[in-house]
């Protein structure tokens, strides 16, 4: 049976940054299942190739998915991302920004007083500057089309600061502010900008959080991807305002754990 998401997304062109793993990878799969043409953007060419090979090919227009090894923090790379997508598909309908890091490479959780300028810059350049550059890169095409859909992935840490994660929280608060500003700027151009704030998600992202363990009830990345698809497929006159997606502990689960003990 064809559902509303299939009808809304079939044949559309979607760019997913951070598409090689975690929420980005799950989003690439979800969009492909609903008939979209997917452009997988990631730093790692091997991960890109794996994802592209896994995706079901679109039935409309017959142009296969493809991937680009790009750094979202590079103005040149983001410009090339948009240009090559337009060369391939002649339009850009959707952008989902999943690329992000929790902290500087090899850096454990630490208080702000111990964070180096380099660590700060790594996080801000990827999470906030990268969001700005990727959004800006697709806007000319969307404005020309007078149609477009952007979902910027922030975090619950963009709504409430958390100890030992100052750069990450600052970047995710910034993503919300930038996205809300952009949404007001481009709504009259037929472009919808939405923000999603996931709580704990079971992805390789948590490897950056060592020695803090992953929560036992962390969401599957596929649940977040399902909500992203829902947001993209909403009617043109509707949007979700900074929704949070979080694990839900049912009584049944709690009872099962109690009886098992």
pLDDT tens for the chain, 261 residues long, are 345 555 689 999 999 999 999 999 999 999 999 999 999 999 999 999 999 999 998 877 778 999 999 999 999 999 999 999 999 999 999 999 999 999 888 888 889 999 999 999 999 999 999 999 999 999 999 999 999 999 999 999 999 999 999 999 999 999 999 999 999 999 999 999 999 999 989 888 877 777 778 888 899 999 999 999 999 999 999 999 989 999 886 544 444 444 444
Q: Given 89, 132, 168, 205, which residue is catalytic? A: 168
Instruction: Look up 70 and say whether it is catalytic.
Output: no
pLDDT of residue 259: 42
Any idea of the CA torsion for 223, 247, 22, 148, to the nearest 10 degrees? Answer: 50
Tokens encoding 199: 């709580």
Instruction: Tell me which H or E stretch contains 66.
Output: strand 66-69
pLDDT of residue 211: 75
DSSP sequence for 147-195: -EEEEEE--GGGTS--TT-HHHHHHHHHHHHHHHHHHHHHGGGTEEEEE
Q: How many angstroms separate the CA atoms of 112 and 132, rounded? A: 24
Domain range list for the chain: 4-260
pTM reported for the whole predicted model: 0.91
Domain 4-260 class, CATH top level: alpha beta
Q: How many angstroms separate the CA atoms of 120 and 142, rounded? A: 32
pLDDT of residue 150: 98
What are the C-alpha distances in Å from 192 to residues 129, 130, 147, 181? Answer: 20, 19, 8, 12
């Amino acid at each position: 049976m064809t559902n509303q998401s299939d009808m809304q997304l079939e044949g559309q062109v979607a760019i997913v940054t951070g598409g090689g793993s975690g929420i980005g990878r799950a989003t690439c799969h979800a969009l492909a299942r609903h008939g979209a043409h997917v452009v997988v953007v990631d730093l790692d060419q091997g991960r890109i190739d794996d994802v592209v090979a896994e995706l079901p090919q679109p039935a409309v227009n017959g142009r296969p998915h493809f991937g680009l090894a790009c750094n979202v923090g590079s103005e040149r790379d983001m410009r090339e991302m948009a240009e090559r997508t337009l060369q391939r598909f002649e339009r850009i309908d959707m952008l989902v920004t999943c690329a992000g890091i929790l902290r500087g490479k090899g850096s454990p959780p630490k208080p702000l007083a111990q964070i180096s300028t380099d660590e700060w810059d790594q996080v801000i350049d990827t999470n906030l500057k990268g969001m700005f550059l990727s959004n800006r890169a697709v806007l000319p095409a969307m404005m020309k089309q007078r149609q477009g859909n952007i979902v910027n992935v922030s975090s619950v840490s963009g709504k409430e600061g958390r100890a030992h994660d100052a750069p990450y929280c600052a970047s995710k608060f910034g993503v919300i502010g930038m996205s809300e500003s952009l949404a007001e700027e481009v709504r009259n151009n037929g472009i919808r900008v939405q923000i999603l704030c996931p709580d704990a998600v079971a992805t390789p992202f948590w490897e950056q959080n060592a020695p803090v363990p992953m929560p036992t009830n962390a969401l599957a990345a596929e649940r977040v991807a399902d909500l992203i698809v829902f947001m993209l497929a909403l009617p043109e006159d509707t949007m979700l305002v900074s929704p949070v997606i979080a694990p839900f502990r049912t009584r049944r689960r709690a009872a099962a754990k109690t009886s098992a003990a």
